[in-house]
Amino acid sequence: MKYRSVFDIIGPAMIGPSSSHTAGAARIGRMARNMLGETPKRADILFCGSFAQTYRGHGTDVAIAGGLMGFDTFDTKIKDALSIAKDVGLEINISTVDLPDEHPNTAWITMSNDKECIKIKGISLGGGKIEIVESGGFDMCLTGDAWTMLVFHRDHYGMIAAIASVLADHRINIGKMEMYRTARGQEALLVIETDQGIDMETSHKISSIQDVGRVSVVPPL
């Protein structure tokens, strides 16, 4: 079930004109920002399908820019997000591509701050509902419904147990967990949805585990 709550249907409260192209785009931008941990310095946005054909009319560009600065769907600043982005030093480049096999509302965001560069792929399902379906070369499904932690690490035995035990120490319950790896012993990603919020201390403890790389904590939308 893609839609899990009555508020996925009645809601969100939002700035018009389109729940998929404006509110959904703002949410993709905000999820991307949360995955990076801060507002990026630069974001290259690639739209395909309906996003590519109609992004200007729907304000998809302003909405995604607003999301990258942390604006929620109902934030009236979304309307001026492109000029606000200039003021806060966020460089935005938009381009389009024609890929008929992709979901009709797909956006890729390649964003960077001073330290790193992350590429994500988001799709907008309608009614403001979104999914982040790719990040760092891994396929995934982030919905923004729950607290989510992304733990990039090197694949070997005991990693999941070590990470889970830190969560257990902090009384954080795991609702859903998915493991992805490029190959045995290679780069891997653990995506963990939790019932409780994940604080800085917990994420620091996890990132200090040996062979753990980047840790992103993504709050629910």
Partner 1 sequence: MNFRTIEELVLLAEKEGKQISEIMILEEAEASDMTPEQITSRMSLHLDTMEKAVQRGLSEEVISRSGLVGGDARKLQGYLKQGTNVSGKRMLEVVSRAIATNEVNAAMGTIVATPTAGASGVIPGCLFGLSEEMNVDRDQMLRFLFTAGAIGYVIANQSFISGATGGCQAEVGSASAMAAGAIVEMAGGTPGQLAQAVAIALKNTLGLVCDPVAGLVEVPCVMRNAMGAANAMVAADLALAGVTSVIPADEVIGAMYRIGQAMPGTLKETALGGLATTPTGEAIRKKLYNEFPDEDKEDI
Describe the strand order of the beta sheet including 212-218 as a list of residue ranges: 174-181, 187-194, 147-154, 212-218
Residue type, 147: W
Bridge partners for 44 per DSSP: 93, 110
| Site residues (vs partner 1, CB under 8 A) | 1-23, 49-50, 52-59, 74, 76, 78-79, 96, 98, 100, 104-105, 124-128, 195
Using the minimum distance from each CB to partner 1, give the nearer residue, 85 or 166.
Answer: 85
CA dihedral (61, 62, 67, 69) in degrees, to 10, reads 120
Measured from the CB of residue 178, what is the shortest distance to partner 1 in angstroms?
A: 21
Using the minimum distance from each CB to partner 1, give the nearer residue, 115 or 171.
Answer: 171
Measured from the CB of residue 56, what is the shortest distance to partner 1 in angstroms?
A: 7
Using the minimum distance from each CB to partner 1, give the nearer residue, 54 or 165.
Answer: 54
Using the minimum distance from each CB to partner 1, give the nearer residue, 7 or 213.
Answer: 7
Measured from the CB of residue 3, what is the shortest distance to partner 1 in angstroms?
A: 4
Cα–Cα separations (whole angstroms), residue 198 to 11, 25, 73, 91, 204: 26, 25, 23, 30, 10
